[in-house]
């Protein structure tokens, strides 16, 4: 980490599910227990929002507009878990933020962040999904993280959409086009290309790059998200789309 770049600092939150995530029954106690878990799993994008707090606090809107990261969801965070978001220096001027719960030293989720992300998502062959167009509603606004217990109001002050909206919208594409029953978001590679304002008109183009079996049926999808006609985010998104497949 270069000396002139501010190092993010640790932050913690009590994990909460948002009402809109209940459509995936894995985020309810009943649905999670039916799938073999102890209780409701907190949505991966909410855990992601918590992990972004140290980054946004340290790097501000600059990171939201041109930074990026890789998110890996390794183990469930459950409703009411105290999640500690602990930054540490990574390789090549990256910062890694680990989501730790209790005395467990194995992170439940990990973000590796680039302050400025120059990676380019290639135009890979695959199965094109329908283009989705809509206007952002209040569920994908500047206060996404604050509704889940965050106390950082920078994005609300500026009316800028929280970057957790992008994998959340990617999950919406999976839910509409790919999944069968309860499912689990596992990984995302996210690059920011600009800021989006609350209520922006969104267009998402998506392409399934790969399907395979590992602890269920999985899919990897490349997505390009435009807000008011400008690309604001590109994502490589992976999820277990069918937990019943062995």
The pLDDT value recorded for residue 198 is 96
User: 229 near 194, Cβ under 8 Å?
Assistant: no
User: 236 near 222, Cβ under 8 Å?
Assistant: yes
pLDDT tens profile 57-96? 999 999 999 999 999 999 989 989 999 999 999 988 899 9
Confidence band for 3, pLDDT divided at 50, 70 and 90: very low
**CATH class, range 11-242:** alpha beta
User: 144 near 175, Cβ under 8 Å?
Assistant: no
Confidence band for 225, pLDDT divided at 50, 70 and 90: very high
Confidence band for 145, pLDDT divided at 50, 70 and 90: very high
pLDDT tens profile 41-50? 898 899 999 9
- Residue 117 to residues 105, 181, 216, 224, Cα–Cα distance (Å): 28, 35, 32, 16
| Mean pLDDT, the chain, integer | 92
The pLDDT value recorded for residue 33 is 85
Instruction: Kindly state the tokens that stand for 245.
Output: 């497949």
Residue 2 has pLDDT above 50, yes or no: no
User: 218 near 151, Cβ under 8 Å?
Assistant: no
The pLDDT value recorded for residue 224 is 97
């Amino acid at each position: 980490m270069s000396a002139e770049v501010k190092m993010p600092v640790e932050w913690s939150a009590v994990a909460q599910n948002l009402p809109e995530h209940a459509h995936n029954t894995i985020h309810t106690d009943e649905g999670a227990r039916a799938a073999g878990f102890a209780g409701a799993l907190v949505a991966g994008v909410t855990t992601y929002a918590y992990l972004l707090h140290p980054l946004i606090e340290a790097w501000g809107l600059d990171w939201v507009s041109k930074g990026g990261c890789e998110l890996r969801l390794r183990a469930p965070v459950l409703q009411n878990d105290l999640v500690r978001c602990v930054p540490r220096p990574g390789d090549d001027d990256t910062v890694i933020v680990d989501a730790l719960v209790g005395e467990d030293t194995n992170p439940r989720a990990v973000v590796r962040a680039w302050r400025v992300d120059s990676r380019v998502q290639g135009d890979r062959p695959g199965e094109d999904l329908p283009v989705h167009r809509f206007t952002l509603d209040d569920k994908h606004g500047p206060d996404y993280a604050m509704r889940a217990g965050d106390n950082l109001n920078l994005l609300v002050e500026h009316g800028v959409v929280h970057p957790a909206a992008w994998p959340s919208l990617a999950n919406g594409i999976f839910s509409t086009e790919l999944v069968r029953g309860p499912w689990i978001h596992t990984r995302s590679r996210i690059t920011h290309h600009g800021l989006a304002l609350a209520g922006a008109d969104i267009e998402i183009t998506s392409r399934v790059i790969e399907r395979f079996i590992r602890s269920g049926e999985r899919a990897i999808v490349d997505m390009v998200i435009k807000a008011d006609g400008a690309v604001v985010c590109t994502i490589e998104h992976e999820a277990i789309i069918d937990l019943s497949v062995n």
